[in-house]
Amino acid sequence: MNKNDHEHRGFMLDVCRHFMPLDEIKKLLQAAAVLKLNRMHWHLTDDQGWRIEIRKYPLLTEKGAVRGDSFFGGTPEAERNSGYYTQEEIRDLVAYAKSLGIEIIPEIEIPGHAAAMLAAYPQFGCRRGKTGKWEEKVEISGGIFPALVCAGKEETLGFLEDILDEVTELFPFPAVHIGGDEALKFRWRRCPDCQRRIREKGLQSEDDLQRDLLMEVGEYLAGKGRKTIVWNDVLAGGPLPAHFIVQQWMGGRQETLAFMQSGGTVIRSDTDSFYLDYCYGRIDVRRIHETPRIPEYAVGLENRILGVECPLWTERIASLERAAWQLFPRLTAVSVKMSGEELPWETFREKVKALEEEREAITGLKGAPEELWDMDPDAAKADRQAEIQTIFSGKAEAYERKEREIVSLDAAERLAESLGIDRDFVQKGGDSVWAEIHGQEEPEDDNGAGILIRQLMIAADSRQYGAWKDIPEEIWMDTMKCFSRFISEHRRSYGRDGFDRYGWTTRQIGAKLFRIGELEYELTEDKEGRKEIGLHIPSDAKLEAERMNASLENADAFIRERFPEWAGAPKTCESWLLSPALKDLLPEGSRILRFQEAFELEEIYPEDDAALEWVFYVAEGQRKELDISRLPEDTSLQRKMKAMIMKGGKPGAGKGILLQKANNTF
């Protein structure tokens, strides 16, 4: 990298998942010097190991730096699991790096990725309710875990400040990285101390609480003349002041853009271009060549980009040889790409090759062979598939799946709360799923809360990776609000929160039913396999012509764009709202009767009693022992329908096809 082009030219080395001896790190620093890099970000603490001696807290290395056999998949599971660096060794490495023109940035990860820290000092973790405790241990597999330092205990801040006092004595670089990524808030939601701090400080969420804690740590570091580096996840809690530097790795690019617009500075580490632990089938030299020098989120704000840093996470890297194979020639390619000169592919490749030959001659470290520099699509796909098989190989598979369920559980709780579902009910469901994941005794009756969370886990995963991924946010949220609506309807009928519509909501989580404005649209087929669109009327829909016509117009546009095979398919509706019996119960010109006029009635179901739920709030499970005489008579429709039922009649239902007109169907 051209020294005048980027202030920050570096790589990150994770030594927590697999420990790396000092002499091997020095080899990597030699290689970095050949490439004119000037930063090594040293990831020293994580769930799987604490690697830095802190003299005031010796248990951090006595307990936190030691673990048994590990299950990351595809690597020797009994090697390099334990170890740490003494303060003398750290000073030696810092001096050695400086002699090469490289400065070392330490990372002490908080509030998440703290399992090793809390295994040593569990008193700085959260309480589990008023009296319970969480199991604290050094993790032996990869992934994201719920162990967070407690943000509600006053003594936590003192503990962190003591650690940072020793860290800043060892590392002269004018910034310290404190992490902030992938902090699952599962424990914070249940911690009385964290919840008290949220209330006392007038915070709105656990994301705000994370920002608040890291702001305090950042202020402490600022008092020592240091800036604070954090992963971009922290911006979810709100903006950060100028003495923070954000490292952009994944997602949250709008928040990162806003941070830069306010004067903040950013280090680029985008996963899709610079994560060098990924296989070559995901990121090869050709892809690096095609990566824009200025990312889309920074166009016009180039001066706010400090530079590029390439992370090397070591879950499946247990030797110097493997580290070199992953790093080179891709780190070399990044150094050429960011040097300021746009080169055609062949010229770029030759320049990388020449620099690689120089680097290998000096260090002896061998990189990946040239056939991996520009992989054809089939080979790249096979490489990606092999990577996935490696991650889920052997005993690692069970650990990996369990960890992913925990991440999905946290996402489901977040989603549930964003939908306005009561927190106590959400946590009841979360606790049921947590017990199931960990093979613990589950609550006897959670009133459907566990099933709710399981379905929201599927929905959240689909939003990130599956059928819901590219659906507009408004449609996504409006559709998912069916869950809060159904819980509210259950409360209205039974007097308590509950969820019993899980058979119906498979449509929503499967991206087969969408709420667009007032109405819902289900992509389905008739008995002969012909495409049709089921029209559903949510209980909170306003049957106003203008609103429903707008819904139809927007739905047609959405379906044409996203599901063209359903474009023009007939729209059918099966509902108590189409019952002919309503004509004797409602005044002429009522909204329900005008709604009926938009349909050609195909079938009538005179014995259907679904209207009891929507008119009288009597759920299906309550109808067997229903005392009709006690039905409410608060509205005209209730009075007339009750009288009809008392005489032996039933409200019925109907099915019809929408007579969609050019304008104003309703």
The mean per-residue pLDDT over the stretch 373-393 comes to: 92
User: 378 with 407, same domain?
Assistant: no
Separation between Cα atoms, residue 123 and residue 117, nearest integer Å: 10
Q: How far apart are the first and last CA of the chain?
A: 64
Question: Which one of the listed residues 14, 24, 46, 410 is annotated catalytic?
Answer: 46
Please indicate, yes or no, if residue 505 is contained in any of the structural domains. no
Please indicate, yes or no, if residue 195 is contained in any of the structural domains. yes
User: Is residue 93 classed as helix, strand or coil in its secondary structure?
Assistant: helix
Beta strands in 454-559 (DSSP E): 513-516, 519-525, 531-536
The pLDDT tens digits for 268-277 are 999 999 999 9
**pLDDT in the model for residue 443:** 75
User: 405 with 494, same domain?
Assistant: yes
Please indicate, yes or no, if residue 17 is contained in any of the structural domains. yes
Percent of the chain, pLDDT > 70? 98
**pLDDT in the model for residue 76:** 67
pLDDT band at residue 280 under the 50/70/90 scheme = very high
- Residue that is last in its domain, among 391, 416, 448: 391
User: 475 with 624, same domain?
Assistant: no
**pLDDT in the model for residue 71:** 87
**pLDDT in the model for residue 613:** 92
**pLDDT in the model for residue 629:** 92
CATH of the domain at 356: 3.20.20.80
- Residue that is last in its domain, among 460, 477, 500: 500
Number of domains within the chain: 3
Range of the domain at 596: 512-666
User: 383 with 400, same domain?
Assistant: no
Residue 105 · residue 93 · CB < 8 Å: no
Please indicate, yes or no, if residue 32 is contained in any of the structural domains. yes
User: 278 with 144, same domain?
Assistant: yes
pLDDT higher than 70, residue 138: yes
**pLDDT in the model for residue 3:** 46
The pLDDT tens digits for 563-610 are 999 999 999 999 999 999 999 999 998 999 999 999 999 999 999 999
**pLDDT in the model for residue 392:** 82
The pLDDT tens digits for 640-659 are 999 999 999 999 999 999 99
Residue pointed to by tokens 């379905």: 455
User: 104 with 142, same domain?
Assistant: yes
Please indicate, yes or no, if residue 2 is contained in any of the structural domains. no
Question: Which one of the listed residues 47, 77, 109, 182 is annotated catalytic?
Answer: 182
pLDDT higher than 50, residue 4: no
**Active-site residue, 193 included:** no
CATH of the domain at 547: 3.40.630.120
Amino acid at site 398 = A
Q: Rounded to 10 degrees, what is the CA torsion of 196, 201, 206, 208?
A: -170
Separation between Cα atoms, residue 447 and residue 428, nearest integer Å: 9
User: 375 with 456, same domain?
Assistant: no
**Active-site residue, 46 included:** yes
Sign of the torsion angle spanned by Cα atoms 389, 82, 438, 120 = negative
**SS3 sequence, 560-619?**
HHHCHHHCCCCEEEEEHHHCHHHHHCCCCCCHHHHHHCCEEEEEEECCCCCHHHHHHCCC
**pLDDT in the model for residue 641:** 93
The pLDDT tens digits for 80-92 are 999 999 999 999 9
User: 599 with 663, same domain?
Assistant: yes
The pLDDT tens digits for 454-468 are 999 999 999 999 999
**Active-site residue, 182 included:** yes
pLDDT higher than 80, residue 619: yes
Task: Report long-range pairs for 273-276 (Cβ below 8 Å, ≥24 apart).
Answer: 274/308, 274/309, 274/310, 274/311, 274/334, 275/249, 275/310, 275/311, 275/313, 276/11, 276/310, 276/311, 276/312, 276/326, 276/327, 276/330, 276/331
User: 185 with 281, same domain?
Assistant: yes
Percent of the chain, pLDDT > 90? 89
Burial zone of 214 (CB within 10 Å; 0-12 exposed, 13-18 middle, 19+ buried): buried
CA of residue 641 relative to chain centroid, distance: 48
Please indicate, yes or no, if residue 1 is contained in any of the structural domains. no
pLDDT band at residue 1 under the 50/70/90 scheme = very low
User: 99 with 220, same domain?
Assistant: yes
Please indicate, yes or no, if residue 491 is contained in any of the structural domains. yes
Residue 101 · residue 34 · CB < 8 Å: no
Question: Which one of the listed residues 6, 8, 43, 113 is annotated catalytic?
Answer: 113
- Residue that is last in its domain, among 336, 360, 391: 391
pLDDT higher than 60, residue 358: yes
User: 32 with 150, same domain?
Assistant: yes
The pLDDT tens digits for 532-544 are 999 999 999 999 9
**pLDDT in the model for residue 5:** 67
User: 433 with 318, same domain?
Assistant: no
The mean per-residue pLDDT over the stretch 212-238 comes to: 97
Please indicate, yes or no, if residue 578 is contained in any of the structural domains. yes
